[in-house]
Structure 1
């Protein structure tokens, strides 16, 4: 709710220019064609809706600027401008008090803002507790020298707390005033300072009342809400930085003279020849000049099964070369590659603003002027009525304190925290605080297939129809390969390994299969067309299934299937009962996607879609007025997860899939989806109630304070009481029935631990 966090305003210190110069900005910009360029700048000072409005308005007025868009989650500014002009983008940001830097998605350091907030919160809490203890003695009847001693002790405790914990608000308020703006920290800093100053005046003059506890307690409650808000916002930045770090640092380039040299990623240009060894990730888009290999294409298609690639095939940045060495000609620079495009898709999708945050931003824009006017009017009115400046300023301070936005600031985050705990107890992790309110609004659920509706691990269907001799041969050959299909076959026929015949001359052919000789015959296990040397490979429906062949004759065909997640059918039935539309988006073939859809009762199916297609479909749903939940797990689902109104991924997802999602569920059961929706809808009701409580508090408390019936201490107590009411209302979410969607982990198992590295990438 509050406007600015530590270090938010005025990153350009004392008018000293910061950030890149015009030429550096031009070189770092991206050519969009038709004379347009795009610059992406990191602006750490961005924190609230007021910052967004200020920056977008100022940049939009510059000659040559076509569009300026602020991404609050990643704290970046994207500016599209004409190449024939050089708008003063950086100078304008510096003038506004927002230092700009060239974006560096690969950087990841310590969160200094969070560390400062936590330290300030600890200091304010310690000081408030001790001052309250001293205040109790004064309230209990301490008088004279004893009362003065307790007041001086309170003043000594409060002073460093105000400097350290209050410094966050003072710096923000000062920088805002320096640049001719107002923010919510201005009245907070003013109220705290006046309360402390008046208390010090009372103490020096042996007065009966001091309000040190009010000033420090005010800081403590404000810092609680601000810390929660910062943590939730920072979550959204993990996905983009994680995806950017997937790019390799460089590649081995083969020169015209045949000499190999390693070049950093940014220095690779189209036309260069790159040597991609087995196990390396493809750094830029290109096509294969020489070699043959199995390639993990899960980042592009979403399917975990490696694909055979050879001369002439196109590869994209982010794919992983698994088995053979490849010589690739680059067709795009790193900034124009598929991986870079995915980063841009995710950043664009993260630019949306949640409804309650927009309400909060509008409230913050009105808060400062209204509070100052109310306090000033109160002071002037009481001076005119009584002529007593001491009484007038005391009442004005009480008005400033009692209108503190603590309750309004905690209305959203406290419910989100309680709801997140309730979800985690049932194996659902919340990655983005604002996602809770978005989840409550959905009317459509979009599922990925492999790794989401299914577990993403291939298994052999109809094992019983395979005779013992064939099983033994398969077990012997499959044991020599680490290909996912071979490993599935080895697991399926593990019991036959003790009867396996001896094989010699075993060779794995990348993209085809594995072969070896036994008892004078050549056996091949792999793709049908290769294994039987052009013999009938079967129907189009099962042509992708592996076979075992001897001398070119197929002995057995192994249908590979992926099993559904536990309770998938029941979970989708619960979603349909809630009136939600369900859709399936998959990069797999239409036949496989339709088979799974039929098993779980999904009518709308789109198969063979690429990452951009998935994100485009989510954007289309949004344009049509739908609010969609995307449930997916793979690297290729990351843009769609970010583009959806809200998103969810299983814990078995790849790292970037988990990071891009707003929710991660730790069970095999898909009942996590309807359960999370039920909790989110109840949390939405509690947030609305909290807003009502906060508004009712101000409607009642402000007139009483203006009438002079409230001292600063009572104002601080009332402010704290309103916060406690909001917190108590949020805690109701911990009890009662979540909804019929409540579930327990299958077989009574505890939630699975989140894997440290990406698992299945679908």
Structure 2
């Protein structure tokens, strides 16, 4: 089923100029368009192939649920107008994608469908009254009276069909004008044939009309299309709600001190913005004036308010809870954190998995196959029955019942629901085929520092240190941002810092205080023999006295043991690969019961291990967070990163865990496996429907009305099966 409204998009003054919404990234132009009328896999294929036919276009991905078409092309932003025109010519009007815009074309499409549905329902009810009179009258009703009834039915049905059938007729005509076909072509053909045959029978033939069947066919098709639209809107609610959290306007502070309200998309890096209490942060920024608190749950997953003070980085989507803040924008809206999260959520619905490609190929074969089948049915019944009436009715039933809408929805519906469910659980999906790959993993590779552990060393047993040594070390440590220095400062608490401290990179800290030379740092720098154990270490030397050893440990994440045990229970082989020293790595592996571990690995060595496992026939999941993990994340069959990870690692991963809860990787695995089962079930439902319905229609055992009910019911059944994923 294709475009709901094939009219060419308005190019008047009311139409937003798409060029104004183009983003330039790495020398390429990026534009998000809201495309109207796409309803199935066939529409996706038509739109994307139409865009990719232009040699400048490098990427064209349509999100079926939100109608968002992501275009990337080489060349100037001015090409955007031509792309919008091309979409209109192939039957899919498009406008710049603005999530905060109150003017929602999908709601307009829903209202249009409801009006068409109401007209078809009204006509159906009245025509059925007339038809019942004709059926029940039998021989007692004169031929003249029956003819009158049929003529009245024609007066009711024909205008109703002309109006209620527009979603199908316009779509079919728009593609036929460009010498293409889509799923609405045989539907329109079936409706028109039913009406045409009825008109012939009314004025020329024997009076056996099918006005009731034609209008009831439209009624049930419209019900199916409307419910499908509503169900898909419900399934994509998470992505739409997230996009709507982007502030529509911003209060920009001008150089003369005046405040002006501007659209958030006009904010540029360096602009000064004013945030009142209750305002959402429109773009990523840094606070330069004011104090208060922010709701940062969108970014961190934590419900506790974030302290707002000068120098603090804030992100788009955060809510200013109290106080007035002045911030300096560090990015425009399209490059802000919330925009990136939104794209990551929607990307989960756009990528092409093996299942999607299979469904697309089947949908493209549909039109020529069904037309051939309907023609064979027409000819066969004409030869067998010797008259055209039965042959035409059976051919109409074949045209209707073979619509592969259920097949086209089988995979996208599941991906949409699974992505929304994962988002609610705190997991961002970056590609739809990641769900398919994740479902098949049997081996998990985990990093240590920052993944299994918190990535923040803590001082071990400070109470065993000689008296006064902790405070002396802390006086030095408070001047440094080194992780071990920060651990010392945290353990000692608030206090004064030493003055004139000199820091040697890779060595340590030293100063002279009260006539004493204080040095705190690495054993090698101090000329001390290091002790090999699972702990990291640093040493404090006062003058030429005996060195004092400080031991540090990176604490396990609170849910690390739960995660490893959960993966083991799900049948996964687990290995720990780390670049850290053997002592700490072995200790963590022993604590978590991981039998296979390796330490002091370089990035290429991690990749080599992953490739070796894949060569053994294993499907590998990599969980990591560091910059050095990015190559391994990309090499694995599927990959997971944490929200606290380096940006390059998040970019390489398929799933990003918000709130830094490692146990959410179990949620991702469970939902991915459930999604795979739902896809297979949907394929089975679609195949079973066609195996039963098509032979019945060809054999003349299905009327056009029953065919319409069966076709709409199969699409709804597939979507409802996908929505089972949304249940907790």
Give the shorter-chain TM-score range: 0.5 to 0.7
Give the SS at the match of 1:531: coil
* Alpha-carbon distance in 1 for matches of 2:346, 2:641: 19
* Alpha-carbon distance in 1 for matches of 2:233, 2:390: 42
Residue 406 and residue 345 in structure 1: after superposition, are their counterparts in 2 closer, same or farther (change >3 A)? closer
Q: CA deviation at 1:639?
A: 13
| 1:253 is the counterpart of 2:253 | yes
- 1:110-129 CA distance string (max 9 Å, x none): 54223333554566567667
Residue 93 and residue 534 in structure 1: after superposition, are their counterparts in 2 closer, same or farther (change >3 A)? same
Q: Which residue of 2 aligns with 1:32?
A: 25
Q: Which residue of 2 aligns with 1:691?
A: 686
State the aligned residue count.
Answer: 614
Aligned 8 A contact 1:41 1:102 in 2: yes
Q: Which residue of 2 aligns with 1:78?
A: 71
- 1:619-678 CA distance string (max 9 Å, x none): x36xx4x356x799x899999999987x799xxx99xx9xxxxxxxxxx99997787567
Residue 90 and residue 732 in structure 1: after superposition, are their counterparts in 2 closer, same or farther (change >3 A)? closer
* Alpha-carbon distance in 2 for matches of 1:729, 1:276: 46
Q: Which residue of 2 aligns with 1:168?
A: 167
Residue 93 and residue 719 in structure 1: after superposition, are their counterparts in 2 closer, same or farther (change >3 A)? closer
| 1:196 is the counterpart of 2:187 | no
Q: Which residue of 1 aligns with 2:4?
A: 6
Residue 382 and residue 286 in structure 1: after superposition, are their counterparts in 2 closer, same or farther (change >3 A)? closer
Aligned 8 A contact 1:214 1:717 in 2: no
Give the SS at the match of 2:182: coil
Give the SS at the match of 2:74: strand
Q: Which residue of 1 aligns with 2:695?
A: 700
* Alpha-carbon distance in 1 for matches of 2:210, 2:644: 59
Q: CA deviation at 1:401?
A: 4.0
Residue 369 and residue 617 in structure 1: after superposition, are their counterparts in 2 closer, same or farther (change >3 A)? same
* Alpha-carbon distance in 2 for matches of 1:134, 1:410: 37
| 1:100 is the counterpart of 2:94 | yes
Match of 1:531 among 487, 494, 500: 494
- 1:685-726 CA distance string (max 9 Å, x none): 432322332332365246535xxxx6x73x543664687789
Give the SS at the match of 1:687: helix
Aligned 8 A contact 1:44 1:76 in 2: no
Q: Which residue of 2 aligns with 1:555?
A: none
* Alpha-carbon distance in 1 for matches of 2:282, 2:718: 52
- How does 1:157-236 map onto structure 2 within 5 Å? 158-159=157-158, 162-204=161-203, 205-208=205-208, 210=210, 212-213=212-213, 216-217=216-217, 219-221=219-221, 223-224=223-224, 227-228=227-228, 231-232=231-232, 235-236=235-236
- 1:319-345 CA distance string (max 9 Å, x none): 567788766544444444444444444
| 1:67 is the counterpart of 2:58 | yes
Give the SS at the match of 1:142: helix
Q: Which residue of 2 aligns with 1:496?
A: none
Q: CA deviation at 1:595?
A: 8.7
Q: Which residue of 1 aligns with 2:112?
A: 116
Residue 161 and residue 84 in structure 1: after superposition, are their counterparts in 2 closer, same or farther (change >3 A)? closer
Residue 528 and residue 217 in structure 1: after superposition, are their counterparts in 2 closer, same or farther (change >3 A)? same
Q: CA deviation at 1:188?
A: 0.8
Gaps of 5+ in 1: 455-525, 543-559, 585-590, 658-667, 739-749, 752-762
- What TM-score do you get using the length of structure 1 for normalisation? 0.59
Give the SS at the match of 1:41: strand
Q: Which residue of 2 aligns with 1:468?
A: none
Aligned 8 A contact 2:280 2:319 in 1: yes
* Alpha-carbon distance in 2 for matches of 1:275, 1:403: 59
Q: CA deviation at 1:185?
A: 1.0
Match of 1:42 among 21, 34, 40: 34
Q: Which residue of 2 aligns with 1:494?
A: none
* Alpha-carbon distance in 2 for matches of 1:143, 1:637: 83
What's the C-alpha RMSD, in Å, of the aligned pairs?
A: 6.7
Q: CA deviation at 1:191?
A: 0.8
Give the SS at the match of 2:259: strand
Range moving further from structure 2, 72-81 or 378-387: 378-387
Q: CA deviation at 1:234?
A: 6.5
- 1:441-464 CA distance string (max 9 Å, x none): 453799999xxx99xxxxxxxxxx
Q: CA deviation at 1:145?
A: 1.7
Give the SS at the match of 1:82: coil
Q: Which residue of 2 aligns with 1:469?
A: none
Residue 223 and residue 444 in structure 1: after superposition, are their counterparts in 2 closer, same or farther (change >3 A)? farther
Q: Which residue of 1 aligns with 2:514?
A: none
* Alpha-carbon distance in 1 for matches of 2:717, 2:273: 61
* Alpha-carbon distance in 2 for matches of 1:581, 1:134: 71
Residue 157 and residue 349 in structure 1: after superposition, are their counterparts in 2 closer, same or farther (change >3 A)? same
Aligned 8 A contact 1:12 1:97 in 2: no
Residue 403 and residue 139 in structure 1: after superposition, are their counterparts in 2 closer, same or farther (change >3 A)? farther
Residue 86 and residue 131 in structure 1: after superposition, are their counterparts in 2 closer, same or farther (change >3 A)? closer
Range moving further from structure 2, 684-693 or 392-401: 392-401
Q: CA deviation at 1:357?
A: 4.6
Q: Which residue of 1 aligns with 2:551?
A: none
Aligned 8 A contact 2:91 2:171 in 1: no
- 1:138-163 CA distance string (max 9 Å, x none): 77783452893876676566556534
- 1:551-597 CA distance string (max 9 Å, x none): xxxxxxxxx9997699878755543x3x487999xxxxxx9xx9999
| 1:443 is the counterpart of 2:437 | no
Gaps of 5+ in 2: 453-488, 499-520, 522-534, 537-554, 578-583, 598-620
- What TM-score do you get using the length of structure 2 for normalisation? 0.61
* Alpha-carbon distance in 2 for matches of 1:240, 1:393: 45
- How does 1:396-407 map onto structure 2 within 5 Å? 396-405=395-404
Aligned 8 A contact 1:50 1:361 in 2: yes
Q: Larger C-alpha radius of gyration, 1 or 2? A: 2
- How does 1:149-548 map onto structure 2 within 5 Å? 158-159=157-158, 162-204=161-203, 205-208=205-208, 210=210, 212-213=212-213, 216-217=216-217, 219-221=219-221, 223-224=223-224, 227-228=227-228, 231-232=231-232, 235-236=235-236, 238-239=238-239, 242-243=242-243, 245-247=245-247, 249-251=249-251, 253=253, 255=255, 259=257, 261-264=259-262, 265-274=264-273, 282-287=281-286, 316-318=315-317, 328-353=327-352, 355-376=354-375, 379=378, 388=387, 390=389, 393-405=392-404, 438=436, 441-443=439-441, 531-533=494-496
Q: Which residue of 2 aligns with 1:506?
A: none
Give the SS at the match of 1:202: helix
